[in-house]
């Protein structure tokens, strides 16, 4: 299996502003593949959570005062 990391270099050239450099597009693809790989590793390691439960937990954390949050 080939594993790509997010340690890529962004090259700039004289293209018009807003044009995406081909290497930047490739970097984006590698980042997406890296995220997918980490997601699959989380599934394999049973580090998943129901979406409704996760959203409820995140919303609860946003409404708590910083001093009320659990430290960990």
Per-residue H/E/C for 6-62 = CCCCCCCCCCCCCCCCHHHHHHHHHHHHHHHHHHHHHHHCCCCCCHHHHHHHHHHHH
Q: Residue 13's pLDDT is what?
A: 52
Q: 4 vs 56, which has greater pLDDT?
A: 56
pTM score:
0.48
Q: Residue 4's pLDDT is what?
A: 47
Q: Residue 37's pLDDT is what?
A: 95
> Tell me: the pLDDT tens digits for 14-44?
556 666 677 888 889 999 999 999 999 999 9
């Amino acid at each position: 299996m080939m594993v790509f990391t997010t340690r890529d270099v962004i090259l700039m050239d004289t293209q018009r502003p807003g044009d995406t450099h081909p290497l930047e597009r490739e970097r984006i693809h590698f980042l997406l593949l890296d995220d997918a790989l980490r997601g699959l590793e989380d599934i394999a390691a049973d580090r998943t959570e129901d979406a409704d439960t996760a959203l409820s937990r995140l919303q609860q954390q946003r409404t708590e005062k910083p001093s009320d949050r659990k430290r960990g």
